[in-house]
Structure 1
Amino acid sequence: MDKALMRILILGGTGEASALVRGLPPGLDATLSLAGRTSAPKAEPVPTRSGGFGGAEGLGAWIVEHRIGCVIDATHPFAARISANAAQACAATGTTLLAIRRPAWDPVPGDRWIDAADMAAAVLALGDTPRRIFLTVGRLEVGAFAVAPQHDYVVRAIEPIGDALPVPRLTTIAARGPFDVQAETAFLAERGIAVLVSKNSGGAATYGKIAAARALALPVVMVRRPAKPAVASVADAAGALDWLKAL
């Protein structure tokens, strides 16, 4: 590998990023960057920084200052802003960029998906009739549902949501996946969930809820992924490791 490519910045916060840093071959100087939205992130075996860079310009300056040879964008499929900033910063600095783009989920027979272009569309898809809704969209997105206070909400997130969803009937559950199908099926049934709202995150870690909803014949409001820049990409951490070795 060229010495200029031995210093790597990994934009993380996902299982793919964790698998990548744990599988890095010797001799690479890698830094893992997290958005800083989780108060107690899992410890990783590489130096880790937390917080934003200050947009594309700030990221570009950080890349130059730290003599980064390549950037691997292993952020969440819904982290559109940092992916756009990474593409812009790498283009401006002439830095090699690879994205890990986990495949989206596709419906299978038995699924009752309701397509939603964004969170606002997901709120409308719930309708006016009060129902018990399971929100698994993350604490930063739950506020969109405040305009539909007639529903009874169950929210699961890694971090406490505070007052992000000011509605009369709200149950919050702090938990971190993965969650298996059996546990999710029991959870949905015991809580009397009528509708599941989910981002189309893809991957295995949170698919249990989708399979559980299918088993219980529950509708799922599935929020589409935001658009991301067209850059070189692989599907998983193994693909990124192969890419690094090829350098």
Structure 2
Amino acid sequence: MRILLLGGTSEARALAARLHPDVEVISSLAGRVPDPALPVGEVRIGGFGGVGGLRNWLGEHVVDAVVDATHPFAATITANAAAACAELGVPHLLLARPAWPPGDAIVVMSDVQAAEAVAEQGFSRVLLTTGRTGTAAFKDSDAWFLIRAVTAPDAEALPAHHQILLSRGPYRYEGELELLRTHRIDALVTKNSGGAMTRPKLDAAAALSIPVVMVERPALPPDVLTVSTVDDAVAWVRTTGRS
């Protein structure tokens, strides 16, 4: 059996390892992160060129199924995979890690709304963890930002007052407490990525009574079979392979 695994997440790497070597897994990474953590098995890096490009790739490589285990905010590739698989009749599964309960967070629907919330609440020292593409919305803010990202944002997308911290999880609770205290952070802005690797920042913020602004996830494509654990994804792949 051969599957295309749309990856780039810890869940995708775990799934590839669980299936190898019984299943031929082709893991696809977007290529936006330098020196990415690579899964076992074959890896392709780069985009497909929209729905049409993915549809052509699937036709040329004759895969038995597609598993989308991309980041919860990778809305474009998730929508493209759903459309291409539906057109071709290729079995398709979405592995979506559970979202974090928002608790007392200020929930917003976009980076722009998050920037508006920072201004409205008068936050002055913000830990910003929305990724390298999420900084542009804060460009005109008067606040100071500690911007934590895997790769540096473009210079023209940065707010006037900031410090960049290049870092990659997983993170530990004690380290997050120290980070928030050292930089006198008074607000955390994050996306609802879910998962355990970056959850400690929320626990540390709660312990220090630091408000959280949380960007909600984009809606998933309708009528796509979705599971929330690697175990369930493994079971689906093995069942699909026997059908």
TM-score range, shorter chain: over 0.9
* Residue 181 (str. 1) matches residue 173 (str. 2): yes
Match of 2:56 in 1: 61
Among all aligned residue pairs of Structure 1 and Structure 2, give the percentage whose two residues are the same amino acid.
42
* TM-score, L = length of structure 1: 0.93
Alignment partner of 2:93: what SS? strand
Deviation at 1:166, TM superposition (A): 3.2
Matches within 5 A, 1:10-49: 10-49=5-44
After TM superposition, where is structure 1 displaced by more than 2 Å over at least 4 residues in a row? Answer: 164-168
Match of 2:110 in 1: 118
Match of 1:3 in 2: none
Q: Whole-Å Cα distance in 1 between the matches of residues 200 and 83 of structure 2?
A: 35
Match of 1:199 in 2: 191
Deviation at 1:167, TM superposition (A): 2.6
Listed as ranges, the gaps of 5+ residues in structure 2 are none
For residues 73-132 of structure 1, what are the alpha-carbon distances to aligned partners after superposition, in whole Å with 9 as ceiling and x for unaligned?
000111111000000000111100000011111144xxx411111111101001254601
Alignment partner of 1:75: what SS? coil
Matches within 5 A, 1:1-247: 6-108=1-103, 112-127=104-119, 129=122, 131-148=124-141, 150-230=142-222, 231-247=224-240
* TM-score, L = length of structure 2: 0.94
Moved more, 161-170 or 47-56: 161-170
| Contact 1:197–1:220 (CA under 8 A) maintained in structure 2 | yes
Letter in structure 2 aligned against 1:55: G
Alignment partner of 1:17: what SS? helix
Listed as ranges, the gaps of 5+ residues in structure 1 are 1-5
Q: Whole-Å Cα distance in 1 between the matches of residues 206 and 58 of structure 2?
A: 45
Deviation at 1:200, TM superposition (A): 0.5
Q: How many residues align?
A: 238
| Aligned-residue CA RMSD (Å) | 1.3
Distance 1:164 1:137, change over 3 A: farther
| Contact 2:5–2:27 (CA under 8 A) maintained in structure 1 | yes
